Amino acid sequence: MLTTEPSFLVLKIEPVLGDSGEPGEPHYLDWPETARENVGMLRLYASHHPHDPRLTELVGDLSADPDFRRWWADQDVYRPTYGAKRYRHPLVGDLTLGFEAFTPAGDPGHTLGLYTVEPGSPSEHALRTI
């Protein structure tokens, strides 16, 4: 489930750390696009909660990253509705999942994310093994 809580909204701006503590491979295959979209979702949250002290702290922390600073300055807003995401799972490899995002009319502060897989696809076979 996606939420508008900023601490859950931003994934990470830096690469995933491997077992050795060194940068590892990202779990998102389209990492730059995914990171930018998440900054856009954070910007959307900010438009509804401009005085949230947690938001101010989070943006301050993330501003250490030059990509985040550039994307934040662009002021792009992103609200996902549907699409596909590509992931790299450490046990089964690459996965492509479709998604749809549903925001209840009576509770616009929350979004339910539904992920699907193409029947018969390599992603379906991989998911069945884990």
Would you list the domain boundaries of the chain? 2-8+17-129
Q: Rounded to whole angstroms, how far apart are CA atoms 87 and 102?
A: 21
- Name residue 85's amino acid: K
The packing angle between helices 31-48 and 66-74, to 10°, is 50
Q: Quick one: pLDDT at residue 26?
A: 60
- Is the separation of the CB atoms in 46 and 75 below 8 Å? no
Q: Tell me the CATH class for 2-8+17-129.
A: alpha beta
Model pLDDT for residues 21-64, shown as the tens digit of each residue: 445 566 888 888 888 998 998 999 899 889 999 889 889 988 98
Model pLDDT for residues 79-108, shown as the tens digit of each residue: 889 999 999 888 899 999 999 999 899 988
Report the predicted TM-score, pTM, of the whole model to 2 decimal places. Answer: 0.75
Q: Quick one: pLDDT at residue 20?
A: 45
Q: Quick one: pLDDT at residue 111?
A: 85
Proportion of the chain in helix, strand, coil states, percent, rounded to 5:
40, 25, 40
Residue 83's alpha-carbon distances to 16, 56, 78, 86, in angstroms, are 23, 30, 13, 10
